[in-house]
A and B are shown apart, each in its own frame.
Chain A
């Protein structure tokens, strides 16, 4: 039998259900101390002095400041601008200044209140507008972490020839990942043993890379182990490098294990969020309503340090034209610095921002042109053989129209669109239905995968079981299960014969980070190839024939280990020849493939309270082969719920660069009562370079809901909405504006 395509049960599901799975805060080591981070109260300034007020016996505490760092004081990622601890310059509220450890975790809270920082404040930058003005300059020479320019055709002359020009500006807010388990790690660090980290994380090798310069140790003296992880959504992509470094610095000085666990408030106020964005779009149409020129200006707020902003910007830029074709395209984009905590990775990684803008803009254009929004979109959809905004020729067959048709039929779109207009007339509750169409490229951008050159391995045990060795983490999304399904099929054995080894940099190869749906599509393929490599070894050793049974395979493995030795298969990523990318022009095959989707939202807005609820949601997508239908459906449903939060509820309230609503009672995430029934439909076009034929799917449900929901609200209320989160307060203001 084959396992790919079946809803195999989660490998780790049993231990999670029984409460046996060990999350980082379940682990305690003998002699372990607890650590906390004391942070900057202001957004920008110069640290002059740290004062330890009386009230506790300071001799009992381990204190670490920038001066105690044995190696280099920067968090190694892309740039070297972010310090582990403030030396003198403070660049955002809640920036780490001082670390404290004590064996009694409660007294640390008292000590925290007895730390006084003497700071000379400097003028800060909080908004994109202030960052552009460069008054003051807070980062580099012009407050710009990165910018991109894409030019194709001649936008200026197309604008001159246009039948009609339409322009709009769209804004998206920050969003908190809100994984169930906050950030946490345990560190053992000393000169003899080096540094070992256990923690909740997505990317053990990112942490590894960051700790090498921090301690100036050779790579083999650093070991990073992923503990069971309660969700990430990108929030545990780069941030664990920071908290791991902190715990390790305390442990290095204390010569004892140190645990740091953030509480929810600290996790919300101090760690990364989705980049806020602002997008201006100018479009030109000919008299047949064909898009002839697209001019996009896309800006994101990166916060105080570069972190991953350049890459987030890249993905946003490359998705900015959506699933539409225009022969003339101009895109300018930039990631700017502000004095807020750095924004970072979050499910979708820049694409939800720019896709929101283009999908809202296309809806706006349809209305201005008095066209049916579906017909208008279809007229301008990208087709096989045409070139996407990023310069990528669509070489594969695409099923965009089928995806859209499925969404329209399942939601009864056209009928409802007409019916609601009638029923809305005499009701204070206005119903609407809206569509969003989009695509998402999985895996690293451009030559990113080639640069990563990921390696995956599989290994037989003396008992004839197969272990999968990768650095890709199970964070709730199903890594363990889908890898096991793919390996079982590649080896023609049973799902229960496969074990996935806990990611530990001392034992697993670097198969790259657990991000961008690359685990399933890219690393899944490597797992398959490594499995075939192992099988080939058995065949070459004449222990196995080309056709075999499960029993024969198991005994062949046992025999090989007994007679020859270690039995391991491995595979390293090589870019398929169809992927060509020009880094200089920033043009070409940005992604190996794309998933295509059409989402429909049905909403009700109460015009007395301006509250909007999503009544029903349809998510239709073509994602290559679906590896595990149950997990895939669950991931879409969970993501749509998160997308509903992004569209309507989740607003980060900034005060002086600091998140003021860092509690789950005032940062409003939708509850089960706020999330409707979500229908999920998959269309399948297997991608031959993806594990099991898969493309990526995890990001889609963050791309689609916000434009679909706002398009539905526009249908209901007959107004133009251009920003998220569209809270009742903002909607009221917009409706007042129009009634004036």
Chain B
């Protein structure tokens, strides 16, 4: 490990009240640590004060009512992939949780941590975007709710204020009649960080697209909902030329870059091809 541990402080907050006072003192929350520990090991995590929120009951667990499903910020990837209601109503979330790191990471990593870290390569955000999730943030000031689409502001930037924690994610199970499509392209079949990934939903009635939602990850500073393509495709009957046009429009929503994992060009072309794969599958 390339870090000198005595330069870091680490506390455990057992209640939200304790967590709020930690935030007030400028400490940083730790919700599983699967991103933070990588940085710490590499000596790339600046010495600071951290507090563990894993023991806070209000932020744990999945709660369901008839109208909605609420995923506490501390819900792990394993809990997501094993949950019956998520499997039947939000299969993309299960599929994407299954492709995060390895089992040990899935047992440890949390949806709140994944979202708060705001990496464009995070696996859950594209699914949350197409399911039009809502995100609930909590602070001493109370609870506030945002459309998840509004949460991410840029590379590693989000709506979370200094005194706030992610409380939960709310999902409405209204996609039983939709096609659900997920594909992640990583550098290998497991233990891979994505190069590009697509989450997509579509409801087709007599070959005509009634509803369509498309989101991609790893191809822009944040996961992106591809509204231009959606608008273009809504109401259309799919044909080879429509698909070709959709692929062209898609490139306007994406801003892929060259980095250590792939090239911008590869990300763009493969994203277009995955859109085509999705559209061919619903037509």
A48 to chain B, nearest CB (A): 25
Which residues of the other chain, B, contact A663 by a CB distance below 8 angstroms? 42
Bound CA span A671–B102, Å: 11
Q: Which residue of B lies closest to A669 (CB)?
A: B188
Bound CA span A106–B4, Å: 5
Contact in complex: B189, A673 (CB < 8 Å):
yes
Known contacts A109-B4, A609-B273; is A661 also within 8 Å of B266 by CB?
no
Contact in complex: B266, A109 (CB < 8 Å):
no
Interface stretch among B86-94, B143-151, B221-229, B255-263?
A: B255-263
- Our pick among B189, B191, B193, B266 for the contact of A729 (Cβ within 8 Å) is B266
Give per-residue flags for B250-274: 1 if the beta carbon is below 8 A from chain A beta carbons, else 0. 0000000000111101100110011
Known contacts A671-B189, A674-B188, A732-B269; is A608 also within 8 Å of B263 by CB?
no
Q: Is B43 part of the contact surface with A, judged by Cβ < 8 Å?
A: yes
User: Interface centre among B4, B43, B273, by most A CB within 10 Å?
Assistant: B4
- Our pick among B192, B193, B260 for the contact of A653 (Cβ within 8 Å) is B260
- Our pick among A113, A265, A609 for the contact of B185 (Cβ within 8 Å) is A609
Contact in complex: A608, B277 (CB < 8 Å):
yes
Contact in complex: B274, A661 (CB < 8 Å):
no
Q: Which residue of A lies closest to B102 (CB)?
A: A671
Contact in complex: A610, B266 (CB < 8 Å):
yes
Bound CA span A493–B263, Å: 62
Contact in complex: B4, A666 (CB < 8 Å):
no
Which residues of the other chain, A, contact B277 by a CB distance below 8 angstroms? 428, 608
Please classify how large the interface on chain A is, using the bins under 10, 10 to 19, 20 to 34, 35 or more: 20 to 34
- Our pick among B4, B6, B270 for the contact of A610 (Cβ within 8 Å) is B270
Contact in complex: B42, A729 (CB < 8 Å):
no
Bound CA span A728–B194, Å: 13
A643 to chain B, nearest CB (A): 15
Known contacts A106-B5, A728-B266; is A609 also within 8 Å of B274 by CB?
yes
Bound CA span A670–B187, Å: 9
Bound CA span A246–B98, Å: 44
Q: Which of A691-740 contact B (CB under 8 A)?
A: 728-729, 732
Which residues of the other chain, B, contact A396 by a CB distance below 8 angstroms? none
Known contacts A608-B273, A609-B274, A728-B266; is A649 also within 8 Å of B2 by CB?
no
Q: Is A49 part of the contact surface with B, judged by Cβ < 8 Å?
A: no
Q: Is A541 part of the contact surface with B, judged by Cβ < 8 Å?
A: no
Known contacts A109-B43, A609-B273, A732-B269; is A668 also within 8 Å of B187 by CB?
yes
- Our pick among A608, A674, A729 for the contact of B262 (Cβ within 8 Å) is A729
Contact in complex: A668, B188 (CB < 8 Å):
yes
B40 to chain A, nearest CB (A): 11
A419 to chain B, nearest CB (A): 24
- Our pick among A110, A609, A661, A671 for the contact of B190 (Cβ within 8 Å) is A671
Q: Is B3 part of the contact surface with A, judged by Cβ < 8 Å?
A: yes
Q: Which of A325-363 contact B (CB under 8 A)?
A: none
Bound CA span A440–B274, Å: 43
Bound CA span A672–B190, Å: 9
Contact in complex: B189, A263 (CB < 8 Å):
no
Q: Is A660 part of the contact surface with B, judged by Cβ < 8 Å?
A: yes
Contact in complex: A608, B276 (CB < 8 Å):
yes
Q: Which of B4-27 contact A (CB under 8 A)?
A: 4-7
Which residues of the other chain, A, contact B263 by a CB distance below 8 angstroms? 729
Q: Is A107 part of the contact surface with B, judged by Cβ < 8 Å?
A: yes
A168 to chain B, nearest CB (A): 25
Q: Which of B187-218 contact A (CB under 8 A)?
A: 187-193
Q: Which of A630-675 contact B (CB under 8 A)?
A: 649, 653, 660-661, 663, 665-666, 668, 670-674
Which residues of the other chain, A, contact B5 by a CB distance below 8 angstroms? 106
Q: Is B104 part of the contact surface with A, judged by Cβ < 8 Å?
A: no
Which residues of the other chain, B, contact A674 by a CB distance below 8 angstroms? 188-190
Contact in complex: A265, B42 (CB < 8 Å):
yes
Q: Which residue of B lies closest to A105 (CB)?
A: B1
Contact in complex: B6, A666 (CB < 8 Å):
no
- Our pick among B41, B42, B188, B266 for the contact of A673 (Cβ within 8 Å) is B188
Give per-residue flags for B28-56: 1 if the beta carbon is below 8 A from chain A beta carbons, else 0. 00000000001001110000000000000
Bound CA span A668–B188, Å: 7
Which residues of the other chain, B, contact A728 by a CB distance below 8 angstroms? 185, 266, 270
A368 to chain B, nearest CB (A): 29
Can you list 16 A-B contacts with CB-CB less than 8 angstroms, sorted by A residue number? Answer: A106-B1, A106-B6, A263-B41, A608-B270, A608-B277, A609-B185, A609-B273, A666-B193, A668-B192, A670-B188, A671-B189, A671-B191, A674-B190, A728-B185, A728-B266, A732-B266
**Interface set of A (CB-CB < 8 Å, partner B):** 106-107, 109-110, 112-113, 263, 265, 428, 608-611, 613, 649, 653, 660-661, 663, 665-666, 668, 670-674, 728-729, 732
Taking A609-B270, A666-B187 as given, write out 4 further A-B residue pairs in contact, using a Cβ cutoff of 8 Å, ordered by the A residue number.
A113-B43, A263-B2, A609-B273, A732-B266
